Amino acid sequence: MPEPTVVEVSAAWAPPAALLLLTLAWAGACLDGLLGPAPGQGRVRALRRPLTETARLLRQPRRTLVGADVMLWRIGGAGLVLVALLMVAVVPLGRWTLADLSVGIVWFNALDVVVWALVWLAGWGPNAVHSLVGGYRFLAQALAYELPLMFALTSPAVAAGSLRVADVVAAQHTVWFVVWMPVAFVVYCLAVAGFSVWGPLSPAAGADIAGGVLSEASGPDRLLLLGGRYALLAAGAAFAVPLFLGGGAGPLLPGWAWVLVKTVLLLAALVAVRHRLPTLRPDRFVEVGWMVLLPLVLLQVLFVSVIVVGGS
Amino acid sequence: MLEAIVFWTLGAVAVAAGAAVFKVDSMARATYALAVSFVAVGLALLLVDLHYVGLVTVLMMVMEMAIMAVYMVMFMGMNPALMPMSMVHGRRTALVVSVGTFLLLAAGALLVPWPSRRDAPPVDVTAALGEALMGSKMLVMITVSPVMLATIVAGIVLAAPRTRYDRFGDDLRGHPADDPQPGGVGRR
C-alpha cells in the first residue's frame, strides 16, 4: 500500500469542517438521548431532544447572579466549542487536512490544557458555591488525567518519529498503533472523557453538587457548555483516528469515509460509556491517575521506545 | 506585511494583558490576564517558526496559570480572595522597579549588536532542539532533574502536616496507613 500523502486545503474549507464536527456532536447528543431516555419519554422524543433542548435554551433568558464575574463566565462557557473546533484543524480527513502542522500532536495537547482554564472559569464566573466546587473538582481531576494523557500522546509520536499527524498516519500503514499500544489508547480515551467532563470523569458537573459547573448556566451559555462537551468528545474521537486507528486506512471505502466511520464508532463508544460506567469519585480517581495510570502509560512508552530502537 | 501586523498585535496584547494584571480587582482576572499575556508571547514564537517552543509555551503557561489561580485565591487574599481586592502594594517602589527593568531589557534588545545568521536554519527545528537538549546539554538536564524532584519532595515533606508516624503509628508498623482520606487504590 502506498503511503498516504496529506495535502493542506485552503482555509475556505474551515466552515464545512466546523459544520461536520458540530454534526458529529449533534449525533453524539442524539445517541445519548436514545441510550438513556427520560422516564415516560419515547424513543422518538428522546431522539428529538437535542433539537427541542437547543430551541428551549436559545429562548431562555439568562440568569443574573449577584457578584458574578460575567466576562470570565462567558469566556469559560463559549470556549469549549472553540477549542474543539481548533482541535480538529489538524485531523486529516483522508488526504485533506486544514493545517498540516509539524507539531500537530503538541497543538492538540496545548488545546486540551486550555480546557482546564475554561472549565475552571465556567465554575468561578457565577460566584456560586456548587459551581465553584465543580471548577475545583475539574482541576484536581485534570491533574490526574493530564500527565497520563501526555504520555499516551507521546507513544504514537515516538513510534512514528514525528509530531506531525500525517507522519503518524503514514507510520501505521502496516499495523495500527492501537494494536501494539493498547494502554496508551485506553488512557487516551479516558482522558477524552476527562476533558469533555463526561461519563466516569464528570463529577465536575455531578448531580451531587447540583450540576457543578453547569448548575448556574442558563440560556445560550448552558447550550454552549453542553454542546461544547459533545463537540470535545467528537474532536477527541476524531483525533484518535489518525493517532491510533490508522487514519483513513481500510478496504473499499475512500480514506475520508473511513476516518468518518471510525470517528463515529469511537464517539458512539464514548457516549455509551456514560450509560455503562458509574461516575468516579474525584478523590478516588486522583490517586488512581497518579499511582496506576501514570506508571502503566510510562511502561507503554518504554515498550514502544524499545521496539522502535530495536527495530531501526 | 501580514506577519508584521500579527506580530505587533500579539505584542500589544501581551503588554496590555500584562498591565491588566495590576489594574483588575480579582485574583482570577489577574491570573488569567497573565495567562493571556503568556499565550500571546507563545503565539509570537510561532512567527519565527519555533512551532514546538511556541505551542509548549502556551501549554505550560495555561496549565501553570490554571493551577496558580487556585493558589492565588487560597493564599493571596485577605480572607480567601473571593472578594474584589487591589492587586498592588508598595506601589511606588514596584512602579519604579518595573519601568526600570522594562527600559533596561528593551534597551538591551534594541542596542545589542545581534550577530547575523551564518548558516541556513535546520530543516526540522524541533528535532534540532531535541538533539541540542539531549546531546551536548544532557549532563545539565540529568543534573537539574533530580534537584528539581528533590525540591518538590522536600517542599511537600515540609508542608504536609501529617508525618509517617501519624500514618503508620509510632513503630511504623501500622499497615495499611491510617489516612483521613480514602484513596483509590485500596487504602482504607
pLDDT in tens, A103-162: 999 999 999 999 999 999 999 999 899 999 999 999 999 999 999 999 999 999 999 988
Say yes or no for a CB contact (<8 Å) between A146 and B63.
yes
Say whether B137 sits in a helix, a strand or coil: coil
> Are B9 and B67 contained in the same domain?
yes
**A2 falls in which pLDDT band (50, 70, 90)?**
very low
Query: In this complex, which of B55, B63, B66 lies closest to A103 when CB atoms are compared?
Result: B55
Predicted confidence at residue B188, as pLDDT, reads 53
* pLDDT mean across residues, chain A: 90
Domain count, chain B: 2
pTM of the model: 0.89
Residue corresponding to grid cell 471548577: A135
> Are B26 and B72 contained in the same domain?
yes
Query: Which of B70, B88, B106 corresponds to the end of one domain?
Result: B88
**A1 falls in which pLDDT band (50, 70, 90)?**
very low
- Per domain, the residue ranges of chain A are 10-311
Say yes or no for a CB contact (<8 Å) between A117 and B62.
yes
Q: Hey, how many other C-beta atoms are within 10 angstroms of the C-beta on B162?
A: 11
In a domain, residue B77? The reply is: yes
Cis status of the peptide bond prior to B176, with omega within 30 of 0: yes
Query: What angle in degrees, to the nearest 10, is found between the helix axes of A219-244 and A255-276?
Result: 120
Mutate one of B37, B58, B60, B123 to test the A interface: name it (highest A CB count within 10 A): B58
Predicted confidence at residue A312, as pLDDT, reads 66
Query: Which of B88, B107, B134 corresponds to the end of one domain?
Result: B88
In a domain, residue B149? The reply is: yes
Query: In this complex, which of A106, A120, A283 lies closest to B59 when CB atoms are compared?
Result: A106
Query: In this complex, which of A103, A120, A287 lies closest to B69 when CB atoms are compared?
Result: A120
Predicted confidence at residue A37, as pLDDT, reads 65
Closest CA of chain A from B149, distance in Å: 16
In a domain, residue B16? The reply is: yes
Predicted confidence at residue B184, as pLDDT, reads 67
Predicted confidence at residue B186, as pLDDT, reads 65
In a domain, residue B179? The reply is: no
Span B73-84, pLDDT tens digits: 888 766 666 777
Report whether pLDDT(A289) > 70: yes
> Are B82 and B145 contained in the same domain?
no
In a domain, residue B9? The reply is: yes
Query: In this complex, which of B28, B63, B181 lies closest to A124 when CB atoms are compared?
Result: B28
C-alpha neighbours within 13 Å on the C-beta side of residue A190: 26
> Are B50 and B5 contained in the same domain?
yes
Mutate one of A113, A164, A285 to test the B interface: name it (highest B CB count within 10 A): A113
Q: Among A33-42, A87-96, A173-182, A243-252, which is the least confidently predicted range?
A: A33-42
* pLDDT mean across residues, chain B: 87
Instruction: Kindly list the residues from chain B whose CB atom is less than 8 angstroms away from the CB atom of residue A103.
Output: 51-52, 55, 126
Mean pLDDT of A33-52: 79
Residue corresponding to grid cell 477527541: A236
Low-confidence ranges of chain B (pLDDT < 50): none
Angstrom distances, CA of residue A75 to CA of A54, A122, A224, B31? 20, 8, 11, 14
> Are B3 and B72 contained in the same domain?
yes
> Are B75 and B3 contained in the same domain?
yes
In a domain, residue B187? The reply is: no
Residue B138: give the domain boundaries.
124-173
Instruction: Kindly list the residues from chain B whose CB atom is less than 8 angstroms away from the CB atom of residue A143.
Output: 67
Query: Which of B88, B110, B138 corresponds to the end of one domain?
Result: B88
> Are B66 and B133 contained in the same domain?
no
> Are B2 and B75 contained in the same domain?
yes
> Are B2 and B58 contained in the same domain?
yes
> Are B143 and B78 contained in the same domain?
no
> Are B12 and B56 contained in the same domain?
yes
Instruction: Kindly list the residues from chain B whose CB atom is less than 8 angstroms away from the CB atom of residue A109.
Output: 55, 59
List the single residue in B with minimal CA-CA distance to A292: B185
> Are B77 and B26 contained in the same domain?
yes
Does B90 or A237 have the greater pLDDT score? A237
Say whether A97 sits in a helix, a strand or coil: strand
Burial environment of residue A110 by CB neighbours within 10 A (0 to 12, 13 to 18, 19 or more): buried
**Cα dihedral across residues A267, A272, A277, A278: positive or negative:** positive
In a domain, residue B185? The reply is: no
In a domain, residue B162? The reply is: yes
